Amino acid sequence: MFMHNKRLQYTVRVAEPNPGLANLMLEQFGGPQGELAAAMRYFTQAVTEVDPGRKDMLFDIATEELSHLEVIGSIIVMLNKGARGDLAEGTQQEGELYRSLTGAGNDSHITSLLYGGGAALINSAGVPWNAAYIDTIGEPTADLRSNIAAEARAKIVYERLINVTDDPGIRDALTFLMTREIAHQLSFEKALHSIQPNFPQGKLPGDPKYTQVYFNLSQGEPDLRGPWNQGEGWEYVENPQPAVDGGDGMPSVTLPAEQEAAVEAMKLRTMSSPDAQPLTGAELGSAKGGKI
């Protein structure tokens, strides 16, 4: 059961309206790295999780992400507050109002006109939020790694948002949100490594013939070696040739005789003649009368 507290987890202080900046902030509201995506990712994992410790952690972090959604949404609304009133009441001349919304080359007029200056579930380019952002696969050792990466990506977006504003109150709130991404990464990483073993993911082992083989498939300078393809356990194949399993590399399938005959008939019926020189529609329509 959820109970909403009307006070934000972190206080939002906005110095002045800025519709363009509000539009950029939408990236963390309805974007792929945003707070709603994080909340839904961890909430759905928590519902599925059978380990009581991980279940509790995921519910805690999912709920905190919802509180972050409220913080970033409040920033967006505060930044749009003046424009929202101007639009609703028509306080400026048409040209002045349009310029106030589109100043500095931003696209805030889209969100202002369509959503009344509210915090819409879209990203900064106006693309609606999509459940496809949730990449949960139902295997904890895979999902926790994905969660760590998701928090890292969100931290980077927050860094970029901090870099595009000089509003001290917004920078302060964004720094808090960015810092919580670090804390969540730490929790997820601790949870991951409390599962031993946790690599490779899942239950089935890999084929030992290929587990630590590195194929040099991008050849040319620079062709560098490092711990990712040399050292203990690694087998480095300088010039891999198909097929690496020792076969001829050609796909094959065994068909029933009746289907084999049908496939052969289709092949003969649709075969191209290498000696044909057909006159095409493109040639007939060319200005050169059949010559392109």
Both tokens of residue 72?
A: 């970033």
Give the residue-averaged pLDDT of 46-71.
Answer: 98
Is the confidence at residue 103, as pLDDT, over 60?
Answer: no
CA distance readout (Å), 261 to 258, 266, 270? 5, 9, 14
What does pLDDT average to over the chain? 89
Does this model's pTM top 0.85? My answer is no
Question: Residue 92's pLDDT is what?
Answer: 47
Question: Residue 197's pLDDT is what?
Answer: 95
Q: Which residues pair with 235 in a beta bridge?
A: 213
Is the confidence at residue 115, as pLDDT, over 90?
Answer: no
Local confidence band at 94 (pLDDT 50, 70, 90 cut-offs): very low
Q: What pLDDT digit, counting tens, does each position of 16-45 carry?
A: 988 889 989 999 999 999 999 999 999 999
CA distance readout (Å), 284 to 109, 274, 275, 276, 279? 49, 21, 20, 17, 7
Residues 99, 103, 105, 109: is their CA dihedral positive or negative?
negative
Question: Residue 100's pLDDT is what?
Answer: 53
Class of domain 19-193: mainly alpha
**Nearest of 221, 226, 148, 227 to residue 190 by alpha carbon:** 148
Please give the backbone phi and psi of residue 215, each rounded to the nearest 5 degrees, phi first: -95, 125
E strand or H helix at 160:
helix 140-163
CB proximity list for 238: less than 8 A, separation 6 or greater: 216
Residue type, 126: G
Q: Which residues pair with 214 in a beta bridge?
A: 236
- Residue 272 has, within 13 A of its CA and on its CB side, a CA count of 3
Percentage with pLDDT > 70 across the chain: 86
Both tokens of residue 221?
A: 């300078």
What is the C-alpha separation between 76 and 241, in angstroms, rounded?
A: 55
Residues 168, 172, 177, 183: is their CA dihedral positive or negative?
positive
Q: What pLDDT digit, counting tens, does each position of 182-234 carry?
A: 999 999 999 999 999 999 999 999 999 999 999 999 888 888 899 999 999 99
Is the confidence at residue 15, as pLDDT, over 80?
Answer: yes
Locate CATH 1.20.1260.10 in the chain. 19-193
E strand or H helix at 214:
strand 213-215
Question: Residue 95's pLDDT is what?
Answer: 47
